[in-house]
Structure 1
């Protein structure tokens, strides 16, 4: 069940990051989902490191860190995807 939640949360985080980032992201939906999963994992790790991984009630700090991490991962991941795609087209 943990993997299913990771995929669902990664999908939502990836879509949120894609919607927040300016401009068009060219990565396919499956890759955006993977970027979102990575962002969620990084955000959770940062929350634990900052001591806010588990708080009473809604973990707003953890969720904010997950979104910020997803923004960074989707942004850089899309740049890497486009660079690889351009290199592949020129080869």
Structure 2
């Protein structure tokens, strides 16, 4: 998959993860989309490592599920980190 396709996949996965997760995550939509790209990278890496899944095809359902799950994981971690900061202040 090309870098541009990966970037688009991550942005869309971040938006879908934002819609799936309840509550507020700090940072707004821009941070969420950027975290979606990081989550897609994480999901792709874990998917390839754990399941030995070929994730090169942009239109593969495996690729999308792994990217969205990775984005959800990254958003949950981000929510935990930013939630702790706001409670301390």
Q: Under TM normalisation by the shorter chain, which class is it?
A: 0.7 to 0.9
Displacement of 1:57 after TM fit?
9.2
**How many positions carry a matched residue from both structures?**
87
**5+ unaligned residues in a row in structure 2: which ranges?**
none
Q: 2:85 maps to what in 1?
A: 84
Task: Output one character per residue of 1:58-79: Cα deviation in whole Å (capped at 9) or x when no partner.
Answer: 4222321111111111111122
What CA distance in whole angstroms lies between the structure 2 residues aligned with 1:33 and 1:61?
A: 20
Larger radius of gyration: 1
For normalisation by structure 2, the TM-score amounts to 0.74
For normalisation by structure 1, the TM-score amounts to 0.73
Runs of 4+ in 1 over 4 A off after TM superposition: 54-58
Q: CA RMSD in A?
A: 2.5
**5+ unaligned residues in a row in structure 1: which ranges?**
none
Q: Which has the higher contact order (CA 8 A, sep 6+)?
A: 2
